[in-house]
Amino acid sequence: MISSNLPLAISSWDEKEIIAMQKVIESKRFSMGEKVKEFEESFSKYLNCKYAVMVNSGSSANLLMIASLFYTAKPFLKAGDEVIVPAISWSTTYFPLHQYGLKIKFVDIEKDTLNFDIEKLSKAITSSTKLIMAVNLLGNPNHFDDIKSLIKDKEIQLIEDNCESLGSKYKDQYTGTLGLCGSFSTFFSHHISTMEGGVIATNNDEIYQILVSLRAHGWTRNLPKNNLITGSKSDDDFEESFKFVLPGYNLRPLELSGAIGIEQIKKLNRFIDIRRKNASHFKLIMQDNPYFMIQKEISKSSWFGFSLTIKKDSGIQRKDLISFLNEKLIDYRPIVTGSFVKQPVIKYLNVDLSQDLSNADYIHENGLFIGNHHIDIRNKLNLLKDFKI
């Protein structure tokens, strides 16, 4: 749907990104190189974490993040292990779990925060649970203190799908850095855009080196001479350029994406500030609204978008809201994928559906979200005041 009032996403580029791209074109170096490396360094510095590994999409970031946990000297995961995930997220939160033979246990979310329901999460953890994959939905951090308290005495790892939440903070720490590793997306509609792109952040030396190898064919070429995968590399460049030690992929980003990212990350704090100002206005105009629930912020959200969920007994249905948004030329979409267990693809996955998912089911039937942006959209948001029955 094309709209003129409030689209889901708009470009955040200006002449700086165009100039950066032109310099790459003039260099005639397009495959992953120094610009990607510089972006990774800027990204990790922004997050105050040790490492950032850029890949070609946020989906690839999730894939490599899961893969890396199989190849540490003492593997964090093996096929058949149970992984707990929230019932609402994007498809490629879940698909890498299936692709690596893991058992997926879906846990319900809170209607207001749209993140893990901590009480239900607590009940879902068993002796088979080896990993919790927290998803910070629409920019909103999870209840991380509570999650960490649940697993502190257990051999359970925490990772984050933070693809929608770059720039969010839980207390004083950026989301995506609160677990063993975290994934990010730099797709067009996200907080920064590198055309296509994704990043994995980690403070773990071994996981970082595994990610670097898996990203490019599983070879040793990009590893340091002394490393945690092979011990050390020989001085024979011919041998080391084509030595394959892990079952990897080719998920490398382009230099164009790295160059754009360098410029985008410089603007990120300003982008987040504006998104938060838009959010403050959105919360103000939706305060005491008789029809809609909005997302309750945990700590400091970067407000990817604005959810609208029909209140029970409000006298309206989602189709009434959709009709209104169409009339006002405001773009909308489901809250991510809705409850993922209702997607037809679920029949192919090894899943545990034993948990109560009533909140996710409610969101699936009664929720949607509209866009937020890096520019002031407060006047556009005022259109929401016109809704009535």
Query: What residues does each domain of the chain span?
Result: 15-262, 268-386
Compute the C-alpha angle 166/172/175, nearest 5°: 30
Count CB neighbours of 388 within 10 A.
8
Q: State how far the alpha carbon of 255 is from the alpha carbons of 28, 53, 191, 220, 249, in Å.
A: 10, 14, 20, 21, 18
The amino acid that residue 243 corresponds to is K
| pTM exceeds cut of 0.85 | yes
Give the CATH architecture of domain 268-386: Alpha-Beta Complex (3.90)
- The single residue listed with the structure tokens 């050390």 is 232
Strands 51-55 and 198-202: what pairing?
antiparallel
- Count Cα atoms within 13 angstroms, Cβ side, for 279: 23
Would residue 373 show up in a list of annotated catalytic residues for this protein? no
Catalytic position from the list 143, 190, 217, 373:
190
Domain 15-262 sits in CATH at 3.40.640.10
Per-residue confidence in pLDDT tens, the chain, 389 aa: 445 799 999 999 999 999 999 999 999 999 999 999 999 999 999 999 999 999 999 999 999 999 999 999 999 999 999 999 999 999 999 999 999 999 999 999 999 999 999 999 999 999 999 999 999 999 999 999 999 999 999 999 999 999 999 999 999 999 999 999 999 999 999 999 999 999 999 999 999 999 999 999 999 999 999 999 999 999 999 989 999 999 999 999 999 999 999 999 999 999 999 999 999 999 999 999 999 999 999 999 999 999 999 999 999 999 999 999 999 999 999 999 999 999 999 999 999 999 999 999 999 999 999 999 999 999 999 999 999 98
